[in-house]
């Protein structure tokens, strides 16, 4: 759902950029509460994991693929939608700047859709479903999985509205196309989110919010991230993702080729020229490391002085 350059108009790009900047400014302040109990490694590892997981496109119907957005997962693992917003925004900024995944001019729209709307819909719906399910920790993966799937659909609707306001495609057509495609992608999002939380609850409860627990070590999460970014990413589906497929079907895919932003992206398309699949692995490992470093640094900055 990463909007490239050329898909949104200047007014829409400006308005979403301002909204996203305001949301990130507020999130930096509000995350201080979360990091009174959540340590910097948690934000770093979560951000690196979501970056790596987003490299793996899974096939859905009609020659279309999707990938994890991770908004609900980030909010639940970090125990704060504000921290979740910082996590997903960090991933999106690094993807745009280093990998040309998502346009520079569309960065505000992408952050708004995935790091703000996606995170908050996932968080609020998870909390609501948890109360309906009786508040049991054992039901958290189910609640978060459902919420994650819905959050993808809502984020896709926001994206469709931005495209319609930009004059890129007729509102009724693009809304129906984006919603229908992302319902299927949302199912995958829900399954992945629920599965990850089941594993964490059983094997690594120290990575989940709640009772203060001592961090149990780096080995398993780091190795998992490296395997996902460096190995499993090589098996990602080559089919176009949901937005690309809609753009192809509705005839506005060429708009992305008409706008070129002069920002060097050394690892564009998650590859290194001349290295083939090895280049993809290296790009994934570099991206994961950068995401961890940036998020870890953010956590240190926003952490309260007495934490």
* Sequential pLDDT tens for the chain (307 residues): 899 999 999 999 999 999 999 999 999 888 876 665 456 889 999 999 999 999 999 999 889 999 999 999 999 999 999 999 999 999 999 999 999 999 999 999 999 999 999 999 999 999 999 999 988 888 999 999 999 999 999 999 999 999 999 999 999 999 999 999 999 999 999 999 999 999 999 999 988 887 666 788 899 999 999 999 999 999 999 999 999 999 999 999 999 877 666 566 778 889 888 888 899 999 999 999 999 999 999 888 776 655 5
| Side-chain half-sphere exposure of 241, counting CA atoms within 13 A | 20
Task: Of 44, 46, 53, 110, give the one whose Cα is nearest residue 75.
Answer: 46
Return the structure tokens found at 36. 């009174």
What are the tens digits of pLDDT across the range 175-205?
A: 999 999 999 999 999 999 999 999 999 999 9
The 3 state secondary structure assigned to the chain is: CCCCCCCCCHHHHHHHHHHHHHHHHHHHHHHHHHCCCCCHHHHHHHHHHHHHHHCCCEEECCCEEECCCCHHHHHHHHCCHHHHHHHHHHHHHHHHHHHCCCCCCCHHHHHHHHHHHHHHHHHHHHHHHHHHCCCCHHHHHHHHHHHHHHHHHHHHHHHHHHHHHCCCCCHHHHHHHHHHHHHHHHHHHHHHHHHHHHHHHHHCHHHCCCCCCCCCCCHHHHHHHHHHHHCHHHHCCCCCEHHHHHHHHHCCHHHHHCCCCCCCCCCHHHCCCCCHHHHHHHHHHHHHHHHHHHHHHHHHHHCCCCC
Q: Tell me, which fold does domain 10-302 have in CATH? A: Arp2/3 complex 21 kDa subunit ARPC3 (1.10.1760)
What are the tens digits of pLDDT across the range 16-38?
A: 999 999 999 999 888 876 665 45
As a whole number of angstroms, the distance between CA 90 and CA 45 comes to: 12
What residue segments make up the domains of the chain, in order of their start? 10-302
Note the maximum CA span of the chain: 55
- Kindly report the number of other CB atoms within 10 A of residue 205's CB atom: 14
Q: What is the pLDDT of residue 37?
A: 46
CA–chain centroid gap for 169, Å, is: 25
Q: Are strands 58-60 and 64-66 parallel, antiparallel or unpaired?
A: antiparallel
Question: Any bridge partners for residue 64, and if so which?
Answer: 60
Task: Of 277, 273, 279, 286, give the one whose Cα is nearest residue 95.
Answer: 286
């Amino acid at each position: 759902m990463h909007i490239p350059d050329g898909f949104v108009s200047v007014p829409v790009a400006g308005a979403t950029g301002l909204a996203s900047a305001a949301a990130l400014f507020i999130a930096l302040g509000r995350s201080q509460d979360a990091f009174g109990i959540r340590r910097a490694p948690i934000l770093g590892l979560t951000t690196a994991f979501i970056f790596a997981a987003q490299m793996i496109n899974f096939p859905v119907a009609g020659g279309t693929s999707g990938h994890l957005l991770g908004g609900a997962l980030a909010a639940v693992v970090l125990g704060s939608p504000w921290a979740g917003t910082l996590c997903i925004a960090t991933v999106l900024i690094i993807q745009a700047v280093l990998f040309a995944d998502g346009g520079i001019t569309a960065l505000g729209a992408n952050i708004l859709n995935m790091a703000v709307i996606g995170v908050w819909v996932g968080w609020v719906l998870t909390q609501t479903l948890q109360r309906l399910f009786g508040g049991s920790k054992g039901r958290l993966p189910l609640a978060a999985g459902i919420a994650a799937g819905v959050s993808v659909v809502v984020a896709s609707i926001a994206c469709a509205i931005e495209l319609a306001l930009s004059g890129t495609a007729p509102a009724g057509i693009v809304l129906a196309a984006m919603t229908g495609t992302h319902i299927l992608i949302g199912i995958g999002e829900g399954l992945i989110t629920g599965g990850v939380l089941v594993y964490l609850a059983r094997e690594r409860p120290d990575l989940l919010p709640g009772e203060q627990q001592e961090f149990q070590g780096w080995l398993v999460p780091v190795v998992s991230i490296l395997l996902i970014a460096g190995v499993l990413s090589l098996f990602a589906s080559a089919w176009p993702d949901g937005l690309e497929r809609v753009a192809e079907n509705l005839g506005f895919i060429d708009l992305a080729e008409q706008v070129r932003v002069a920002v060097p992206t050394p690892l564009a398309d998650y590859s290194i020229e001349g290295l083939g699949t090895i280049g993809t692995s290296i790009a994934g490992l570099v991206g994961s490391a950068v995401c961890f470093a940036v998020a870890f640094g953010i956590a240190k900055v926003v952490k309260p002085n007495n934490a």
